[in-house]
Structure 1
Amino acid sequence: MARKKILFIVLLGGIFFSHAQVYVSPSTHVFVNNEVLFVKQDVANNGVMFLRRDGQLLQGVAGVTANKGAGTVSVYQEGTCGNYDYNYWCSPVGTIVTGQEGIAGNFNADATKIFYRPNTIINSDLATILPWGSYDGQSNPLSISSRWLWKFVNATAYSQWVHVGNGQPIAPGEGFTMKGTAGTDNTNVDGIINNPGNHQRIDFRGRPNDGDIVIPCLVGQQTLTGNPYPSAIDLSYFLLDNPACDGTAQFWEQDKTVNSHTLANYRGGYGTFSPAATLAQVTAGTAGTGIYTPAIFYSYDAGGNQGTVTSSPGNSYKRRFSPVAQGFLITGANAGVVTMRNRYRVFVREGAANNSQFERNASSAALASANADNVPSYNPVVEDLAFPTVLSVSGIDYTNESVRPQPQVRINTLIDNQGVRQSVIGFHPEATDGVDRGMDAISSDDGLPSDMFFVIDDKEYVINMVAFDENKRLPLGFKNGAPANYRITVQEIINADTVQNVYLHDKVNNQYYDIKNGVHELNLPAGTNKSDYEITFKRDSNLGLGETIKNSLLVYQDNSGHTLQISNPMALDLNTVVLYDVVGKVIFEKTKLGNNTTYSFPTANLSDGIYIVRMLTSDNQEISRKIIIKN
């Protein structure tokens, strides 16, 4: 066996740049460890380029790629699901066609030839693609079920998914679904276990994708695409720079406690990412982190139609920079084509701290509990910290970027005591009250039987970006196929000091309900309502109990005594006291309390976190307060 030459690019904090073509001779290994290899032009590769520990390959050619050669790039990515659950992927490599090694360009990916299982830092075994009848993939030796490999191109219906399971081509820039594997693989490669359980590592091997990649996406239709390069991309830049898409991306999330391959048992949904910025801000390096709204999980019937709301994990993901192989959906908005370009490519190491996540499990409720020492935790003070180092093909200077989130109000709506729809009001000085591309995000769940949404141009939105004005009124809509209960509260206010109050305004009865400090319950008949309710930031001063009377009610948590205390010095006649958790679920409810001057309720059995006390007087006036319990 001939001895192979190995070029190590480690450089300990340095960067390797080539402003010309890179040529890799046969039997030569290029090893990029925790750094970026930036090539201004094309790569003629006849060896193997190993990208390890967030090592990435960036190329700067404008237009069509000139990459060629019989060699491959090898890059890892870890799935985050077991054999019953999907990740959405986009291959960073194509499959080299025998006899066409010298032809320049990107190649289609063949699922039977791009997935490998690492066994050493440079050696991997080709995965077996199992036939249609095999439901479960296995981690060791790596085998992948072809039954769950699908793509979605210019489509709107479940029936339009296209199977790509066993050798059918996946074009560059086409995303695909793939379930994880059963079992574990304790093989330790470069300090990481291949599969400790539900986290299958894949070694993608093939010709690295490069240059302009056209992504089909027609007006009003969706396409599963993703990051097609062996480097990270600036997702906000891609979305805003392509006016043929609506400027947002949707990410699949699934309930991983459901161990079933039967569609009717699935529970899942789509989270939505909005850049919440303008293209000018992106190119100036001042766009920020964007806004992500978590998925609401719902069931499906056998035809793929959405059924009842089942749960809401409140997963929080940092999506500004899409890591290698991340898949997502885009929606066509205007005539033209959507093109992935090298100028969107950046060197960003994967991780939440770098706003680049393939997936992470951390619910907002858990975060609220963990942050129970922050008072008030629903309006945190966020330091204006700079982004970590971002190196870009475009030359954008990211040093002015900040991890400080966009000013926003997050609203939780608990639907029929099952799942929480989280919607966001974002604030941007250039936003209008109409639809702003790359800011407002339309709901991906328009088939839900029950939902709450912002009404913009008579359509349903989960993110509504506006220029803040205390007098602004934001229409709110509800739809439900059967009578439904909604509990609405502000989950948190972030970096928006000008927002002093948030109210739900019942326009029919001209009643204002404080949802910043409390929960308001609605019981609505079947149907769609887009006209009776709105969000406001102030209310008419002559409505409800006088502020002096309301403020006389003192509500506080005695953490040392493990009790909720209510002081009622004006002896208001209290009909009901309800304690809710941060997502609106009832912890306890006390009725017919009378006009005592003090009340005490035990809380020793409750978890640490934020809770909402809602009091209702005998004449139906609401008073609400937020408390923090720390036992």
Structure 2
Amino acid sequence: MLAYQFIGLNGDSTQSGGGPAEGVKTPTKFLPVAQGFVVEIVNDGDIKFLNSQRVFKTEATDETIFFRQVASSNEGEASNTEDVIKKIRLQLTTSNGLGREIVMGFSSVTSDEFDYGYDAKAYETFNNDLLTVLEENTMVLQAYSEITSDKVVDLTFKADGNGMYNIKATQFVDFPIDQPVFLLDNFTGTYYDLSQEQGYNFTSQSGVYTNRFDIVFQGSETLSTDGFTFNNDFGIYYNSNSNKLFAKQSNQDLKSLTLFNALGQKIFQIQDIKAEDLQSGISLKNASTGMYVVILKTVEGKILNKKIIID
């Protein structure tokens, strides 16, 4: 068996902290050659490894211990599929070939909150970037709970100027063949099937877009209506006389309402809207004439896109 999972700076281990020992060996302060290990950094500063730190210690005298993976008694034994983390590698590429790759994982042993050891912050951002979001932090690696049909993963996209961009899934790991995965462009209302090899091409102006892209797990024919309560006369329109946006005949409260202009820029957003407020009108002043995309998101994460014309 392996050793304790962790020994802290104060000497506490998983056993001394009240939990059971995760093995029968206790590590020493001397690491044998080729032994893998993990270090947690608690202060800023430089880390140096010097040859002078090398000392000769042997396992025979219990001065050092080498930890190995225990061989399975059945080489053909399958791993526990319930603990498998399904992973998506998603890549943003600019017209000059630069870009960013991020990784998302989904499993029964991780959550939609911060998962220590699974999530990694983006400590550096680029002029053109694609990242996931956890609370106020942008992430390059992020784990989530299991995939459900109504799950929505928000992405943050950053562009340094006019140009062509491509977003594609470079790898799916342990994903069922029949699991749909879409990139949702909230500005155009496009659901792009990420199983396609060429990726999703689009243009953008300079800016940071926190509401343009999502990863979703069902297509437009489901997301557009599922989770909303409509009457037959449901509609979204802008009244130029009152400078108000109306969503008539909707009986559902919303988590957010967002308005994008024809350039993909977010010009308006409001949170936590009651159904009666939608029907009585949302004040929207100083809106220029043109085409807009309205994004409605329910408290369950369902999304509806509608285009409107303001004249």
Smaller-chain TM-score bracket = 0.3 to 0.5
**What TM-score, normalized to structure 1?**
0.26
Greater relative contact order (Cα < 8 A, sep 6+)? 2
**What TM-score, normalized to structure 2?**
0.48
